[in-house]
Amino acid sequence: DAGVTQSPTHLIKTRGQQVTLRCSPKSGHDTVSWYQQALGQGPQFIFQYYEEEERQRGNFPDRFSGHQFPNYSSELNVNALLLGDSALYLCASSTGQVPEAFFGQGTRLTVV
């Protein structure tokens, strides 16, 4: 079992650009959540996808959007990047059967 996989592991973008991050959930999981973790902070919930629909959303602007595909993988898109978007972006997968959520290794995004 490969667990939750995210790509890329590191990314450097210029302010104003757009970025797409990808996540493959753990085998058997159908729900994907995205979190932003700033340096020295706890992860902050961005949104959650289930059955290809955004089910919940945290306090993040519309510049943050996502998508879930029929195979349950997911993308996080961030438009008009700001310096403050620099963070570790984490994907967590889960299933409706049990509450446990498992995280990937994250994508370190640096905006310059």
Partner 1 sequence: QQQVKQSPQSLIVQKGGIPIINCAYENTAFDYFPWYQQFPGKGPALLIAIRPDVSEKKEGRFTISFNKSAKQFSLHIMDSQPGDSATYFCAAAENYGGATNKLIFGTGTLLAVQP
**Beta-strand pair 5-7/107-111:** unpaired
**Is 87 a binder of partner 1 (CB under 8 A)?**
no
**The one among 20, 22, 75, 102 contacting partner 1 by CB under 8 A:** 102
**The one among 1, 2, 42, 70 contacting partner 1 by CB under 8 A:** 42
- Distance between CA atoms of residues 77 and 75, nearest Å: 6
Residue 34 CB, nearest approach to partner 1 (Å):
10
Residue 11 CB, nearest approach to partner 1 (Å):
14
**Is 76 a binder of partner 1 (CB under 8 A)?**
no
**Is 66 a binder of partner 1 (CB under 8 A)?**
no
**The one among 21, 26, 33, 78 contacting partner 1 by CB under 8 A:** 33
Distance of CA 26 to the CA centre of its chain: 14
Question: What string of DSSP letters covers 47-61?
Answer: EEEETTEEEEE-S--
**Is 84 a binder of partner 1 (CB under 8 A)?**
no
Let me know: does 32 contact 95? Beta carbons within 8 Å: no
Let me know: does 74 contact 54? Beta carbons within 8 Å: no
> Measured at the alpha carbon of residue 58, what is the angle toward residues 52 and 63, in degrees to the nearest 5?
75
Task: Name the site residues for partner 1 (rule: CB under 8 A).
Answer: 4, 6, 31, 33, 35, 40-45, 48, 50, 56, 58, 90, 92, 94-106, 108
